[in-house]
Amino acid sequence: MNHAKTRVSHRCSVMARMDTTLDLVLARLAAGQHGIFDLHTLERIGFSPDQRKQRVRSGRWVRVHDGVYQMGGAPVTWRGNVLAACLAGGSSTVGSHRSAAAVWGVDGGRKEIREILGPRWRRTFEPGLIVHETKVLDPRDVTVVDAIPVTTIERTLLDLGAVVHPHIVERAVETALRREMTSLPDLRATVCRLGRRGRNGVGVLRRIIDERDPDRRLTESSMEMLLMQAIRAHGLPEPVPQHTIFDHGRFVARVDAAYPDLRVALEYESIEWHTGKAALIRDSARRNAVVAAGWLPVAVTVEDLRTGGHHVCDQIRRIRRRAA
């Protein structure tokens, strides 16, 4: 009798150790996936159906979608939500459009929605979930960023043209080029490869590439690109971004944008960098040096740009008239 109890106790102990080992393996994996895992992962690790049910009942796992779970107590994040939606859609589903832009960190990204691309979504409608269905998704257009399957930056920029304003797409392109995520030849190759008639977004990206001056310097922020767009929308010639001012060979300043022929310097006033006594002294000394070199500084505010840039463009127009 004692031998039978010992065998049962030993078996229970072995099973408990096995359970603990499985949980540790899963915990390590989930830690690198925003606390998210799916049924395929559980089967691969070796969890039985009874073990899965017990952990859901106890709250150790939380069911997010059919066959997709989150580790109990793990923080709910937008990245985890996007990954969960991709896993629920199947192995061919990826984050796309505005969700992919948010993962990449370019303009047009939105974290309050989950936007995915893949085969037909057979589940019920869910608030905040946008599904773009496709029968074929080229492996060349898919990658993984921070454990989330997403469209490549080139495909993301192309798809953005179908869901956001072209100006936002242009700023996203500028950001991607500035951070060296892609290049104009790579973008052009993607447009040529995917540019069959009827594909949403391809026309927007093609126009942005075709109309872009390949010799133009890159801006250093999205707000600087917004300035360029506002000036262009008012029918004024684009200034030179990131222009360096010299005075008789001596460096004076590098300004956000400039009209060298008019000796006009455009400077974006950022609250982040232009507040406080030290910033005021620094900016005043810099502005005085620009003026002493014979240049006219023109301040650009975020409030003006967000309402169309009418104030700064009126100033530029008056300066150009006086110069003429």
pLDDT at 198: 62
Here the tokens at position 111 are: 């974290």
In a domain, 286, yes or no: yes
Residue 161 counted as domain residue: yes
What is the reported pLDDT for 126? 78
Contact 233, 165 (CB under 8 A): no
- Domain membership of residue 135 (yes or no) is yes
Q: Which amino acid is at 13?
A: S
The number of beta carbons lying within 10 Å of the beta carbon of residue 117 is 28
Using the structure block, give the residue that is written with the tokens 């890159």: 218
The pLDDT value recorded for residue 123 is 60
CB 260 within 8 A of CB 240: yes
Domain span at 46 = 26-76
115 and 168 share one domain: yes
**Which CATH number belongs to the domain containing residue 306 in this structure?**
3.40.960.10
- 163 lies in the same domain as 131: yes
Distance of alpha carbon 173 from alpha carbon 150, whole angstroms: 17
- What was the pLDDT predicted at 270? 65
Profile the chain (324 residues) by mean pLDDT over runs of 10 residues: 50 54 93 96 93 94 94 94 93 94 97 90 74 88 97 97 96 96 96 80 94 88 92 95 94 94 89 47 78 94 92 96 89
Whether 304 maps to a domain, the answer reads yes
Under DSSP, the state recorded for 139 is G
Residues 116 and 186 occupy one common structural domain? yes
- Total domains present in the chain: 3
Residue 279, pLDDT score? 46
Residue 16 placed within a domain: no
Name the DSSP class of 70.
Answer: E
The DSSP secondary structure of 3-48, one letter per residue, reads: HHHHHHHHHHHHHHHHHHHHHHHHHHHHHTTTTEEEHHHHHHHT--
Residues 226 and 290 in one domain: yes
Give the other-Cβ count within 10 Å of 24's Cβ. 10
- Distance of alpha carbon 220 from alpha carbon 244, whole angstroms: 14
Residues 226 and 318 placed together within one structural domain of the fold: yes
From start to end of 82-192, where are the E strands?
94-95, 114-118, 129-133, 142-145, 148-151
Q: What pLDDT, on a 0 to 100 scale, did the predictor assign at position 120?
A: 72
Is residue 105 domain-shared with residue 48, that is, in the same domain? no
pLDDT value at position 4? 52
Between CA 244 and CA 79 the distance in angstroms is: 40
For 253-276, b where at least 16 C-beta lie within 10 A, e where not — what string?
Answer: bebbbbbeeeebbbbbbeeeeeee
